[in-house]
Amino acid sequence: MLAMTPEELIAMAREAGERAYAPYSRFAVGAALLGRSGRVYTACNVENVSYGLSICAERAAVFKAVSEGEREFEALAVVTSCGGPPCGACRQVLAEFGSDVTVYVADTEGHYRTFTVEELLPAAFLPEDLPR
């Protein structure tokens, strides 16, 4: 059960997106990741003139959470101007931490769709797929 409403998590992601550094794409993204601990980790996308060195908001939020000791997640809210879903790289990173994580994909007006990581990335490559 969520410790906050989807709308509250989306509002936190929207606020994080306002801090995005996106001078090249002009596509600001905000993310808010709710850990099982109840703590929320927010992040925005940060672009670089060498495009491959950019980081998506979703991955930044996961890496921030993991670097602070969180390993289990309840939900992620992602906000873009058009309500676009996470990219493939972000989906794969999310899958590492649970296919049942709820993902709210919202636009800046607050309209959103709800998915699980598994719905966004069916047949993901997971730790159990590696030979032991």
CA distance 118 to 89: 14
Q: Are strands 73-80 and 102-107 parallel, antiparallel or unpaired?
A: parallel
Q: How many residues does the chain have?
A: 132
Q: Angle at CA 44, nearest 5°, toward 38 and 47?
A: 155
Residue 58 designated active-site: yes
Q: Which of 18, 47, 58, 128 is catalytic?
A: 58
Instruction: Report residue 48 as tokens.
Output: 């670089």
Q: What is the DSSP string of 64-109?
A: HHHHTT---EEEEEEEESS-PPPPHHHHHHHHTT-TT-EEEEEETT
Active site residues: 58
